[in-house]
A and B are shown apart, each in its own frame.
Chain A
Amino acid sequence: MIRLLVLILMLSLMPAGIFVADASVTGEQNLLLFYSNDVTGETEPCG
């Protein structure tokens, strides 16, 4: 139980979204993904 709690503590201290600096191995890759939908909006008013 204590080991489990220590493990949980360690995991909870890990920041979200960790990145591997060097992803040069086949099957590993850092990439950018842009996404959107429904663009016919009114971000800029008609007048």
Chain B
Amino acid sequence: MGGLSKKAYQLEKIRGLHELPGLTLDGGNLLFKQQRLSPGLLQQAKITAAGIIDSYNSMKYDAVAVGKNDLAAGLSFLQNQSARSEFPWLSVNLVRKSDQGPLFSAALIRRMGNISVGVIGLTAHDGSIQFGENEDAELLPWQEVLPDIVTDLTEKCDLLILLSNNVSNENEKIAEALPDIHMIIQSSPRSGNIAPKLTNKSLIVQTGKQGKYLGWMLINWQKSKTWGHTGAAKELATKKRELDGISGRISRIERHERKQDLPANANYQKLLAARETLFSEIIFLENELHDLKESGLTFSTFENHFIPLEVNLPDQPDVKKIVETTKLSVNQAGRNQAEESAISSAMPELQLEKLPFTGWETCAPCHSAQTSFWRKTGHASAYQTLASEEQQFNLDCLPCHVTGEYKDIRISNNDTVLLSLPAQLQQVGCEVCHGPGRNHAATRDTNAIFRKPDISICTRCHTAERDENFKYDNDIELIACPASK
């Protein structure tokens, strides 16, 4: 949640630069990373979720859609959090099973200067949400609920926005079926930003996952309630450039080949076909632009920006404080969990001699050059780095800062075990890369240990989200032990 204070700073800055009415919206899936949480993770994840809501309150969000992941701690948790949110949680299709009544507001209407803006929330309906027996809830497909509310809001609003956590294909179907929706802000599980894309009459847009970007638009909304096709003019120019390139290549082939050989020249035939396709695309775009001009309407336009929320950006102080307090609370909850586990002594996993992992000190007598080298790397101090940030009991961080997992071998499926690891495993030790070493240490069997870690070992932690600069081929050399170089 480190990006929140960066986002808050950017929001303040842009709001200050443009003295215009503004809407701040979120497509959902903001509270939890997964749709299901293990019992061990639940307590800490709930504290983080509450901190995110506090941050959103501070940033003055106007509305948020209910995403599948937002229900990970149960419906009642989200309803309780909704009560302390200073913005509405929207879902038109998450209803009570008993009477189909609403569980959250379906939509929001906000007067902004000369226009009314309607915002509808839609929760992805893909069969993956399982409600508990005691939860009076049901998720309806958009086809059953969206058309009616769109008709209703079209009469009341000038601009209609849908917050949807459906995947792109589904949102495109919505755009095709309901042209009165002017914009779909998407929150689908994909990694990159999606620049505004016109599908039928709707713009579909999304920021990349895991909060790495803030999207913002300057919109000039016109009475035509129709987006301008400035994109078509741009596309036309691109197609014409492509056509010039292909025509040049065709001419060159015709100059250098005998005429009778051309029918058998596959490349030449391919270029001819591509030129034909481009011709028809250009004619289509030219006609579209001509029709638009003839209609005499003034179209609505936009400028879109994606701001990368990088670590070196300034922080907004209020939200920074919320994030810091939340992180400390998470750590304290983990510390308490660890102490409770120690008192109950219910964790046989903690007896080092019973684990497949043995710790780097066991490796040192036979591999002294390698362990000496490793001790100078960031891997050796990974746990200490967490401790210095007061995050050594944060279960969201811990798995990548200790020795506890190699491919499908884990110390335990109980996440809380990581809170009480013996000191010998409180590093990213030899066995994280080379596999559990107990058997190898006992037998000296070289087949029981793995020399070079493959990329999957590294990307368990060095994911694109956490370490976007990670390059396996380069970085493996930086941590390769002396003998293996």
**A and B together in one complex:** yes
**Could you mark each residue 25-47 of chain A with 1 if its beta carbon is under 8 Å from any beta carbon of chain B, else 0?**
11111111111111111111111
* Bound-complex Cα distance A41 to B231 (A): 32
Check if B339 is an interface residue, CB within 8 A of chain A. Answer: no
Contact present for A42 and B466 (CB under 8 Å): yes
**How many residues on chain A are close to B (CB under 8 Å)?**
37
**In the complex, how many angstroms separate the beta carbon of B308 from the nearest chain A beta carbon?**
9
Q: Within 8 Å CB of A8, what residues of B?
A: 233, 236, 286, 289-290
Contact present for B209 and A38 (CB under 8 Å): yes
On chain B, which size bracket covers the interface? 35 or more
**In the complex, how many angstroms separate the beta carbon of A14 from the nearest chain B beta carbon?**
6
Contact present for B207 and A46 (CB under 8 Å): no
Check if A18 is an interface residue, CB within 8 A of chain B. Answer: yes
| A-B CB contacts (within 8 Å), total count | 223
Contact present for B290 and A4 (CB under 8 Å): yes
Q: Within 8 Å CB of B210, what residues of A?
A: 38-43
Check if B23 is an interface residue, CB within 8 A of chain A. Answer: yes
* Bound-complex Cα distance A5 to B206 (A): 35
User: Which of A12, A27, A34 has a CB less than 8 Å from the CB of B216?
Assistant: A34
Check if A11 is an interface residue, CB within 8 A of chain B. Answer: yes
Q: Within 8 Å CB of A40, what residues of B?
A: 1, 30-33, 48, 52, 210-211
**Could you mark each residue 100-130 of chain B with 1 if its beta carbon is under 8 Å from any beta carbon of chain A, else 0?**
0000000000001111010000000000000
**In the complex, how many angstroms separate the beta carbon of B375 from the nearest chain A beta carbon?**
18
Q: Which residue of A lies closest to B187 (CB)?
A: A37
Contact present for A16 and B230 (CB under 8 Å): yes
Contact present for B20 and A35 (CB under 8 Å): no
Contact present for A43 and B215 (CB under 8 Å): no
Q: Within 8 Å CB of B112, what residues of A?
A: 29, 31
Check if B272 is an interface residue, CB within 8 A of chain A. Answer: no
Contact present for A19 and B187 (CB under 8 Å): no
Q: Within 8 Å CB of A36, what residues of B?
A: 7, 25-27, 30, 207, 211, 213-215
**In the complex, how many angstroms separate the beta carbon of B180 from the nearest chain A beta carbon?**
15
Contact present for A41 and B30 (CB under 8 Å): no
Q: Within 8 Å CB of B206, what residues of A?
A: 37
Contact present for B230 and A17 (CB under 8 Å): yes
* Bound-complex Cα distance A23 to B221 (A): 8
Q: Which of B91-99, B345-353, B381-389 sits within the interface? A: B381-389
User: Which of A19, A29, A43 has a CB less than 8 Å from the CB of B113?
Assistant: A29
Contact present for A26 and B114 (CB under 8 Å): yes
Given A12-B237, A39-B1, A41-B212, A31 and B20 contact (CB-CB distance below 8 Å) = yes
Query: What are 6 residue pairs bridging A and B, where the CB atoms are less than 8 Å apart in the complex?
Result: A19-B218, A23-B114, A28-B220, A35-B26, A36-B27, A47-B388
- Chain A interface residues toward B at CB < 8 A: 4, 7-8, 11-12, 14-20, 23-47
4 closest Cβ pairs, A-B complex = A44-B2, A41-B210, A46-B397, A43-B3
